[in-house]
């Protein structure tokens, strides 16, 4: 049993590293998606929401070094872990690609979208370190208004970010040895 816990902690730590690398790639390239929840979704899907949340906390804490906005969006990462963990545990146990992945991405993304939209709009006036801030500014200058611009942008960017995270999670789990997947599920 102790080896199983060590394995889970190791997987969560590797997942945090995936988040850190992804977030910094998105930051440096000013991508309109965030890439900071790939490890969170993977950890939550494979190990459950608690490990997913731990992954998100560790990664966000470290990402704060290179991105001073990161810590403010930790609640979004945590709710993403909860949503992904619950959905994979209750409704999507097969770990296989299917058309319902598009709906699952929306379900996983929307609570975090609400949190991130409020954070970005009210704490930062819609301007953060993310490349999506450019889209917010364009929409705002077109007369949409800051809060609606942030929300519209977050809906699309969070959705595609979570769809990518879910797709990569399924791909990673598919290539993992089935004995490893079974072991962490015990």
Structure tokens at 68: 């001073």
**Selection from 98, 74, 105 nearest residue 174 by Cα:** 98
Average pLDDT, the chain: 95
pTM: 0.94
Is 26's pLDDT higher than 70?
A: yes
The predicted structure's pLDDT at residue 29 = 98
Is 1's pLDDT higher than 70?
A: no
| C-alpha span between 142 and 101 (Å, rounded) | 33
| C-alpha span between 114 and 109 (Å, rounded) | 9
* Mean pLDDT of the 146-171 span: 97
Domains and CATH numbers, the chain: 2-185 (1.10.1760.20)
The predicted structure's pLDDT at residue 142 = 96
Cβ atoms within 10 A of the Cβ of 89, count?
14
Percent of the chain surpassing pLDDT 70 = 99
| C-alpha span between 95 and 93 (Å, rounded) | 6
């Amino acid at each position: 049993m102790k080896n199983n816990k060590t394995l889970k902690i190791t997987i969560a730590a590797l997942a945090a590293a995936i988040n850190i690398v992804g977030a910094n790639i998105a930051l440096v390239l000013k991508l309109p998606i965030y890439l900071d929840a790939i490890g969170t979704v993977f950890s939550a899907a494979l190990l459950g929401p608690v490990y997913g949340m731990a992954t998100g906390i560790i990664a966000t804490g470290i990402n704060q070094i290179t991105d001073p906005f990161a810590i403010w969006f930790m609640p979004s990462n945590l709710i993403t872990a909860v949503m992904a963990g619950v959905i994979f545990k209750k409704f999507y146990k097969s770990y296989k690609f299917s058309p319902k992945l598009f709906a699952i991405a929306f379900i996983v993304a929307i609570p975090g979208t609400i949190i991130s939209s409020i954070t970005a709009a009210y704490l930062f006036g819609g301007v953060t370190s993310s490349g999506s801030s450019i889209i917010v500014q364009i929409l705002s200058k077109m007369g949409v208004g800051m809060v609606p611009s942030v929300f519209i942008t977050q809906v699309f960017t969070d959705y595609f970010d979570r769809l990518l995270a879910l797709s990569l999670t399924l791909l990673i789990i598919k290539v993992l040895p089935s004995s490893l997947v079974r072991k962490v599920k015990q």
